[in-house]
Structures are given as C-alpha cells and as structure tokens.
Structure 1
Amino acid sequence: MKADPSRQWRLLDLQAIDTRLDQIAHARANLPQTADIAAARGELAAVETELVNARTAVDDVQRELTKSEQDVQLVRDRAARDRARLDSGQGSAKDLTAIQHELVSLARRQAELEDLEIEVMERAEALAKQVADLEARRAEVAERLGGLEEEQAALLADLEAEANRVGAGRADIVAGVGEDLVGLYEKIRAQSGGLAAAELRQRRCGGCRLELNNVDLDRIKNAAQDEVVRCEECRRIMIRTGESGL
C-alpha cells in the first residue's frame, strides 16, 4: 500500500486518540465502585428480607399477646364474679365452698397466664428492638449505596466528558489519513488488541518492542517514503521518523 508520509504520521495521532478512548472504555467497564455497589445492593436486599421477616414475627407475637391479655382478663372477670357471690353470702354452704375452691384454682390459673403474658411481652419487646435495629441498618446501607452510586455517576460523567474531548478531532484525522489507510489501520487494531500503528524508533518496533534485524532494516530503508511498512513480527504499521535508526 502507498500513502504519503504525512498521512502515515497522522496515524500516530489517530492511534493516540484511540488508545486513550480504549483506556476510557476500560475504565468505564471497570469502575472501582462497581463491586462495592453490587455488594451493598446484595446487603440491602438481605436486610430488607430480614426486616420483612422480623415485622411478620412482630405481628404474630402481637396477636399472641392480645390473646394472652384476653385470657387473663377472662380469668379476672370470672374471679371477680365469684368473689362477688362469695361476699354476698348467697347460696348453700356447699356452693360457697365450691366457689372458694374455684377462686383458688382461678388464682393459680391467673398467675400462670400472667407469667405467659410477661414472656410474650418480653418476646414482643425483643422483636420490636430487632425491627428497629434492622431499620437503622437498612438506612445505613441505603445511605452508603447512595454515596457509592453518586461517586460512580460523577466518575462516569468525567470519563464521558473526557471521551468527548479526546474524540472531538478524530473525524478530521480520519479524513486526513484516508479511507484506504484507515481501513488497514482498523483491521490491524482489531487483530492486535488495539495497537495498530507505532513509531520505528532506534531500530525497534514500537508495537512489539523487538529490535529489527539487518535484513528488515535494509528492506525498510530501501522502501519508498510513501510505502506503508509493517513489522514482520507483529504486523503492525511502523511509522518512520528521524529517530528510526535507519
């Protein structure tokens, strides 16, 4: 392929732009906050699941507490009625004796139910504290996640702005290089990990960094100035300059 030296030299400008754009794309795909955001989102989802389960447990124990309170109240009401009958003295001696025995049984039953009520109340308090702790933890994780997402968004905006700034003159350079040479350049870029054109400096290819042997150096030295020369090792385009060592 033939291409005047000025077109070839402009390939270096194009390569510099594309290299930086590749670096920006890599940075965008590997933002430092990405892993932390994923971890925080996972933690937040886990906390919210725990919170739902804890609130369900609170509802269950509240129903249990309500029933326990009702059971205690029923015994109290029955005992109050028995005491009222006993105080009135109405009924036979046998009936009054039976009422006294029932009051003893009711007192024992009330004590058992009140102990159970206390145990349920303690569980309700513990669950309420668990819900409060989980709500605080959820708020902390959500705040941390929000901060990470803001940092990521700001970094993305900076990278986007830089990409626009770096790539602003690319179209003009491409037009100056020419369709044929750009086509070769793009083909090599796709095959060689992004680096397609580099200087031949001090007898070394700027792509693979290998020193050229004398046969290759003579070939390049004798090539016309407008001939596009490529490295025999890495097949990248080598741009000849005053520091090529030819």
Structure 2
Amino acid sequence: MTPLLVVAALFGLAVGSFLNVVIHRVPAAMSLSRPGSHCPACDHPIRTRHNVPVVGWLVLRGRCADCRAPISVRYPLVELATAVLFVGIAWRLADLDLLPALPALLWFTAMGVSLTMIDLDVRRLPDAIVFPSYGVIAALLVTAAWIGHDPAALLRAAVGAVALFAGYFLLAFFYPGGMGFGDVKLAGIVGGVLGFLGYPVLLVGAFAAFFIGAFVGIAKVLVSRGTAGRSLAFGPFMIAGALLSVFVGPTVADVYSRLALGG
C-alpha cells in the first residue's frame, strides 16, 4: 500500500497547487490557464522552480521573489491539506477494498477543498465547479461499479443523490434564510458519493454536516459573547461531514444502532 500512498501524496500536492488557482480565479470568472501564475502585487510571472508545491513557498520564505510582497500561507496549507486528504482517502478505500471508487472520491475531495475555500471567501458555490462535477463523478462511479461488479452501489448512489437533494431543497424552500440553493445543488453530489459507499456512510454524512455546523455556530456565539455576526457558510460543513463519514460512518452507525437497540 505504501507506493499507493506516496503517489496519492504527490498527486495531492500537485492538485492542491492547481486548486489554489481555481479558488482565486473561478469566483472572478477568470481563465484558469491565462495568464500564467504571477504575483498579484507586481504582476511578475512566477518562476517554474518557485511553483513547486509547498517547497516553493518555503524557499521564498512566503514572499515574492521580485517585489518581496507577502504570499499568503493559505497557498501551502491548501496544498498540504489536499495531499493529506488524498492519502487518507486512498488508505481508507484500500482498507475497505473499494479502490475502484478512488478516482471519484479524489475528484470529490478536490472539489470539496476548492468549494470550501470559495464558500468561506465569497459565500458562493460556483456552478462552474458544481455542475461539471455531476457528470464527472457520475461517470467515475459507473466505472467503479463496473470494475467492482457492484451494480447495487449505483442504485445506492442514485437513492443518496435524490434523497439528499430533495431534503436540502425542502429546507431551502421552507427556510430560505438558513439554506441556499447552492447547498441544494451540492447536496446531490454529496448524496451520490456517500450513497455509493453505503447507506450508513450516507446517513452519518448527512447528519454530520448539521452537527458540525451547530457546533461551530455555538462556538462562534460563545466567542462573540452572544453578539450577532455574519451567517456561516454551510458548504464547508457539508464537505467536512461527508469526508468525515467516509472514515467513521459505518462505525458511528453501528454504535448508534447498538445503543438504540440496547445491545
């Protein structure tokens, strides 16, 4: 398994570097390819050797090589977070003997990282990321089911996508102040991916989003001493809950069922 995890880490670093471009440019409706990477302060192109994920930022000590303007630490953190998540997902799916689903889960993870940062920045979940992900993830899940000879997984994915989309749609319809339709559109993808992995993963992931959101909301109120503040973006909680459930969903569901049944 070690070679797989090494490849996942290196691939995650490379993808994380690209996600930094996505996070910055997609909300501004900018091209992802032109212009090339450049310093936003002096507009000087970034040298190839300085574009190496994490290492480039460390070599430059967090400053532009030309104008010495500071480079946000968020760039290497996004790269590291993506690499860590890719390694974790690869390890978990290998442990569950679900490696055919790895491409779909890696796409979902990369999508989740970019949407999380964008939602935190501008309170939007761009259609330019969400809508193409429906087609890509669907194709990857179909391929995974075909390789794994598991057509039932596709049925679970369809049920999960429809159920979570419908649930979020009703929440947004009856309580528009607490749920945006960007969250509704994302819910279908979350439900499909989690449903493919199993109904326990789907159920725990769906509830985990609200649990994490409530926990963060209460913490925010306590820190701000009860004063009103800016509403919380919910997309990051959906992504966090989904990824958390990939790792602990079956265990949590099993513990809950035992407690509920008194076993």
Structure with more strand by fraction: 1
Report the TM-score when normalising by structure 2: 0.23
Report the TM-score when normalising by structure 1: 0.24
Query: Which is bigger in relative contact order (C-alpha 8 A, separation at least 6)?
Result: 1
Structure whose CA Rg is larger:
1
